[in-house]
């Protein structure tokens, strides 16, 4: 079973670090969204490595396929924090 690597970095150019691996599906039959039975897909969830990071997916080369790398996606999340407030009566 082949898999893809989910990688992350703190800048768009890396250095890239392995976050985890997800298995590829659809080796034996055509799936919805795949144009031919030779195409595969992946799905799954891996916890984010950083609150502000760049992510990409890499398919390592095999004896049958060449390496493929997805576009880089930026993801950021910031906790909501109230730093001050006032209460007034009408």
**Using CA atoms, how far apart are residues 32 and 69, in angstroms rounded to an integer?**
22
CA neighbor of 7 nearest in space, from 75, 69, 63, 56: 56
pLDDT value of position 44? 80
The 3-state DSSP class for residue 51 equals: coil
pTM of the complete model? 0.69
The dihedral through the CA atoms of 29, 32, 34, 39 has a sign that is: negative
| Lowest mean pLDDT segment, chosen from 19-23, 28-32, 34-38, 85-89 | 28-32
Following CA atoms 79, 80, 83, 87 in sequence, which dihedral angle do they give, to the nearest 10 degrees?
Answer: -160
pLDDT tens-digit series, residues 49-89: 888 999 999 988 877 778 889 999 998 887 778 888 888 88
In the predicted model, is pLDDT for residue 28 greater than 60? Answer: no
Give the model's confidence band at 25: pLDDT under 50 very low, under 70 low, under 90 confident, else very high. Answer: confident
């Amino acid at each position: 079973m082949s898999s893809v690597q989910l990688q992350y970095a703190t800048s768009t150019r890396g250095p890239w670090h392995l976050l985890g691996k997800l298995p590829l599906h659809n080796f034996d039959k055509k799936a919805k969204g795949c144009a031919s039975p030779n195409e595969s897909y992946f799905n799954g969830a891996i916890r984010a490595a950083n609150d502000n990071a760049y992510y990409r997916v890499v398919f390592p080369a095999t004896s049958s396929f060449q390496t493929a790398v997805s576009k880089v996606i930026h993801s950021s999340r910031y906790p909501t924090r109230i730093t001050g407030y006032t209460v007034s009566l009408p």
